[in-house]
A and B are shown apart, each in its own frame.
Chain A
Amino acid sequence: MIDLEFAINTISLGSLYALLALGLVFVYGILKLINFAYGEYIMIAGYAMYVLGGFGYVPWYVTLLAAVLFAALVSYTTELVAFRPVRTKSMTAMLVTSFAVSIFLQNFVLITVSPRARAVKFPPVFSQTLTIAGATVPVRNLLIIGSTVVLLTLLTIVMKKTVLGIAMRAAADKFTTTRLMGVPANLVISATFIISGFLAGVVSVFWVSRSASVDPLTGSMPLLIAFIATVLGGMHSLQGAVIGGFVYGLLFNLLSIMLPATMISYRDAFMFVIVILFLLFRPEGIWRKGYTEERVG
């Protein structure tokens, strides 16, 4: 039952969820804000692929790259326009702002494009399969694993070896003290939103390619998954987010093969039970270590 096919698909799903959770935790780490607009960056990148793909003459790799960068840009813009003005206000103001941004972006595409789903074109490799040692694996899943390895490596280098990365880690722990070192608050916060949006963009490519369509509510499921994964793994560190993503992927795939066919539609309910158990018995997640709760002032 646990064969190569299962292993590769689980690692792939876990990778996707790890990137997803990482994008959410990046911002949470600095602002202590669960950004409810995070799913919308994914949705927006989907629309970017829809629009660019619709032109017909834009090469697909340009489309995908542009969509990823666009998600980062939108994330950065929401920081500038919506979050920055209320940053020093209460936590509630920040949360309400993130809801407002989410609703705004959903309604924006609903009005300018359509309330209904739109088909997004993907290159054929996204729907092809490969046979490795007898296991049939979608190429898409291998691309996810590859992208995740590259991104996690890059992010690790950025966070450990660059001054900006070190400053971001410091700011997640002690924001005010980091400013006392001369690190501009806005620089750190903008950088986290850009990285968060970039991750959302990469996730979007793979998420949207599953159904090859996008609608205004495309972002809600990934937001929920990211949230659950961070609850499982731990909110307070990037490692926790990655672990949570993989654990979520594993649990989900295990439930998929272990539940009897009649109960498969209750898979999500089982996931919620697991989350509730976590919240009750290990609210800090699997990975306990991490930074403190100091809020940005």
Chain B
Amino acid sequence: MLKVENLYASYGAIRAVHGISLEVAEGELVALLGINGAGKSTTLKAISGVLRPIQGSVMLYGEEIGNRKPEAIVKKGISLVPEGRDIFGGLTVEENLRLGAFASYDRARYKEDLEEMFGLFPILKERFHQAGGLLSGGEQQMLAIARALMSRPKLLMLDEPSLGLSPAMTDQIFELIVTLRERGTTILLVEQNAERALEIVDRAYLLATGSLEFAGTPDEMKRKVDLTSVYLGGDEDETCEVRL
């Protein structure tokens, strides 16, 4: 469903991504791995329209979306959960979710989707009228994911959802990703915690300094790539260190 070809993206003069190609098929759970600064977030930003690609193409169901605005791309069905969660701290949980549904609002469906989110994340029901900023890190991550799901995305992109979370909370988030995938959501997952991600994904891409280093199944990757090099050098993964 998603096909990225020869993507280049930069921040002014700083080239962050050069010539990446990747694909995600319907129903797949795909990981984008790499150390800090490899260009993972930049790739997601370019796909979601936050950063306009300077070259290359992004196709969703065969339609070129590479030069669309972010508000148009989410309407097309790609939802990004940004790095660091990025919930609206001054808005209540309810208001956060309401904005999440902005792209495809329908009153009856909205009620339905809320109930579904309460099923997936009971804590959000408890905190419904509280400000998002008062939630714990893990709860904020859940809110960010729920907010993204409220638009009923065809493709959900998660940027380091376990970043800065406690091991227990990290477990919960990974379980949730598996649940979502079982429900049929197509997911592109960015993780620094490579070993952990490889346990749950169908396929993975490895990024290094803005280019694709490797692509394949988790087994192939484990065989051919020295994974310690993938997550060493990360500065924030103390809390989400793999514990096997």
Contact = CB atoms under 8 A, between A and B. Distances in A.
A170 interface: yes
A163 interface: yes
Nearest to B105: A163
A180 B91 contact: no
A86 interface: no
A166 B82 contact: no
Given A163-B102, A174-B86, A181 B91 contact: no
Contact of A174 (B88, B98, B103, B104): B88
A8 interface: no
A177 B86 contact: yes
A181 B50 contact: no
A220 interface: no
Given A166-B99, A167-B99, A180 B82 contact: yes
Interface in A198-246: none
A181 B74 contact: yes
Chain A interface size, under 10 / 10 to 19 / 20 to 34 / 35 or more: 20 to 34
A169 B89 CA distance: 11
Nearest to B74: A182
B89 A170 contact: no
A95 interface: no
Given A163-B102, A173-B88, A173-B90, A180 B80 contact: yes
A255 interface: no
A177 B82 contact: yes
User: Which one of A163, A170, A178 has the highest number of Cβ atoms from chain B below 10 Å of its Cβ?
Assistant: A170
Contacts, number: 68
B161 interface: no
A176 B70 contact: yes
Contacts of B91: 166, 169-170, 173
A183 B99 contact: yes
A183 B29 CA distance: 27
Given A163-B102, A166-B91, A169-B91, A181 B69 contact: no
Contact of A178 (B48, B99, B104): B99
Contact of B69 (A163, A167, A179): A179
Interface in B93-138: 95, 98-100, 102-105
Contacts of A85: none
A170 B101 CA distance: 14
A181 B99 contact: yes
User: Which one of B48, B70, B86 has the highest number of Cβ atoms from chain A below 10 Å of its Cβ?
Assistant: B70
Nearest to A237: B90
B238 interface: no
B40 interface: no
Contacts of A180: 48, 50, 70-71, 74, 79-80, 82
Interface string A82-120: 000000000000000000000000000000000000000
B242 to A, nearest CB: 30
B203 interface: no
A183 B71 contact: yes
Contacts of B69: 179, 184-185
B98 A163 contact: yes
Nearest to B51: A297
B181 to A, nearest CB: 22
A179 B70 contact: yes
Interface string A266-297: 00000000000000000000000111000000
A180 B74 CA distance: 6
A290 B89 CA distance: 10
Contacts of B70: 176, 179-180
User: Which one of B91, B99, B105, B147 has the highest number of Cβ atoms from chain A below 10 Å of its Cβ?
Assistant: B99
A179 B71 contact: yes
Contacts of A173: 88-91
B151 interface: yes
B102 A182 contact: yes
A166 B98 contact: yes
B15 interface: no
B138 to A, nearest CB: 19
Interface in B50-82: 50, 69-71, 74-75, 79-80, 82
Interface string A157-177: 000000100110110011011
A177 B88 CA distance: 9
Given A181-B71, A181-B100, 5 more contacts: A163-B102, A169-B88, A179-B50, A181-B151, A184-B69
Identify the 8 closest CB pairs spanning chains A and B, nearest first.
A182-B103, A182-B74, A179-B70, A181-B99, A182-B102, A170-B88, A177-B86, A181-B102
16 contacts: A163-B99, A163-B105, A166-B91, A167-B99, A169-B90, A170-B88, A170-B91, A170-B99, A173-B89, A173-B90, A181-B71, A181-B102, A181-B103, A182-B74, A289-B90, A291-B90
Interface of A: 163, 166-167, 169-170, 173-174, 176-185, 289-291
